[in-house]
Amino acid sequence: MSESFTSGALVPQPATIPPPYPSAHSAPYWEGAKQGELRFQRCSACGHAEFDPSIICRRCGHRELVWERSAGNGTVYSWTVVWRPQQPSFVVPYAPAIVDLDEGYQMLANVVGCDVADLAVGLRVTVEFHPVSDGFVLPYFRPA
């Protein structure tokens, strides 16, 4: 662990971290991740890009949301750095970030492939995927 908390390599978590628990309406998202696709929903009525997986458009209330594939490119909106893991299986430091995807939605995922000192609002990032247990795959973002 860094003594200063201002630097440290950001790497994917080990595959031993707890897996996600998909619901019926998030299952297509997790299936996409297994195939290396970042998926989100778009409202067929108003066109709103919707994430996280939902059964109703948060903008207009319409109930028909269609799955689309994101290009996986975005910009860091905000982030934090975790130095005390939630569970022993998590490796620190890690940096959960809110990313503005180019399709117009936000999601939370860890940034990897850089140092803590490189994190910045507005950093351009692109998605990549890494496995966890039970056959699941998690999206991460690295500097583009």
Cβ closest to Zn ion, residue 41 vs residue 110: 41
Q: Is 66 in the site for Zn ion (CB under 5 A)?
A: no
Residue of the chain from 9, 27, 60, 121 that contacts Zn ion (CB under 5 A): 60
Q: Is 48 in the site for Zn ion (CB under 5 A)?
A: yes
Residue by residue, DSSP assigns the chain as: --SSSS--EE-PPPTTSPPP---TTTHHHHHHHHTT-EEEEEETTT--EE-S--SS-TTT--S-EEEEEE--EEEEEEE--BSS-SSTTS-SSBEEEEEEETTS-EEEEEE-SEEGGG--TT-EEEEEEEE-GGG-EEEEEEE-
Q: Is 130 in the site for Zn ion (CB under 5 A)?
A: no
Give the binding-site size for Zn ion (rule: CB under 5 A): 8
Q: Is 58 in the site for Zn ion (CB under 5 A)?
A: no
Residue of the chain from 59, 63, 69, 124 that contacts Zn ion (CB under 5 A): 59
Q: Which residues bind Zn ion (CB under 5 A)?
A: 43, 45-46, 48, 57, 59-60, 62
